[in-house]
Structure 1
Amino acid sequence: MAQEKDIVLIYFEDKPLVFARIEQILTDIKPDWYHVKLLLLQIPLQSVTWILRNAYINGDEFTMDGKRLRLELIESPDDTDEFDGTGEKEETQNHKQPEKGKVISFQSLRKK
């Protein structure tokens, strides 16, 4: 089930339309209905609140003004790199760490 802070992809008439973050899910006065506040991740940012059933939050198709919509939960891609617990990646046999590059100061690039 999609929860607060999850990212969903909103489909409009079977076409992906926009990504959104679920900001808040509050119960409605009607059983099994919820007020779902979405932050649409587009320019400009927009916040909307839809009243949806639990099944619709979980990906079932629904309609608004006769138009078909559905939410699809977006899962973060697997990160196969291993970390050693200190925030640094462990070097594995198949993955060698790249050599460190030269740091360029933005201060030195400023026009005088």
Structure 2
Amino acid sequence: MAIENDIVLVYLEDTPVFFARVESIWPDVKRDWFNIELLVLQIPLKVVVWTLKDLYINGGEFFMGGKRMRIEVVESPEDDFDEEEEEKPKVSRNSNGFYEISAKKKNTVEKHSIMEPSEIEESESLSALDEEKLHTDGDAEKSRIVSFNEFLKKKNQE
């Protein structure tokens, strides 16, 4: 039986006509009948309330305006990929009210190390081959990558 928040497909004469979300179901005044409120997923959105027996809400055929109809609950298709290899990202809200996304993928862990300032200065100089690729005017010193400490030293010397 369709329940609240289910997505259903409504058929008219064995032809799918529209999707809808079940908003609510409540008993009607007539015994064994129920009111089902559907949000019709079309543009513009439309809300309809039908009075049906539980047999019809469960997918049995019924007639409306002399036309044969039925409601079928839509099941989400299964994913084609193996969930063990890739987990879906998890979205959570932190204490500041911002959303955080955390995703874990196998075999994609990157290691980052903390470097001392002296190591950063050494690693920032370009190789001669890299400088040739970056500079066509021959002025390599002008475009050389420098650390902030080196920049301050040069500025203080001037």
Give, in angstroms, the shift of residue 77 of structure 1.
1.2
Give, in angstroms, the shift of residue 88 of structure 1.
2.5
Letter in structure 2 aligned against 1:34: F
TM-score, with structure 1 as normaliser:
0.74
- SS class of match (1:39): strand
The one of 72, 86, 106 equivalent to 1:91 is 106
Letter in structure 1 aligned against 2:60: D
Letter in structure 1 aligned against 2:83: D
Runs of 4+ in 1 over 6 A off after TM superposition: none
Distance 1:28 1:15 in 2: 28
- SS class of match (1:69): strand
1:10 aligns with 2:25: no
Letter in structure 1 aligned against 2:32: D
Q: Could you say which residue in structure 1 is the equivalent of 2:75? A: 75
Consecutive unaligned residues of structure 1, counting only runs of 5 or more, are 97-112
Distance 2:44 2:26 in 1: 25
Answer yes or no: is the 8 Å Cα contact 1:32–1:54 preserved in 2: yes
Distance 1:69 1:75 in 2: 19
CA distances 1:13-67 after superposition (whole Å, capped 9, x unpaired): 1100000000010101122110000000001100000000001001000001100
Q: Could you say which residue in structure 1 is the equivalent of 2:150? A: none
Percent identical among aligned pairs is 52
Distance 2:105 2:41 in 1: 34
Q: Which has the higher contact order (CA 8 A, sep 6+)?
A: 1
Distance 2:104 2:58 in 1: 35
Structure number with greater Rg is 2
Letter in structure 2 aligned against 1:40: V
Answer yes or no: is the 8 Å Cα contact 1:81–1:89 preserved in 2: no
Letter in structure 2 aligned against 1:38: L
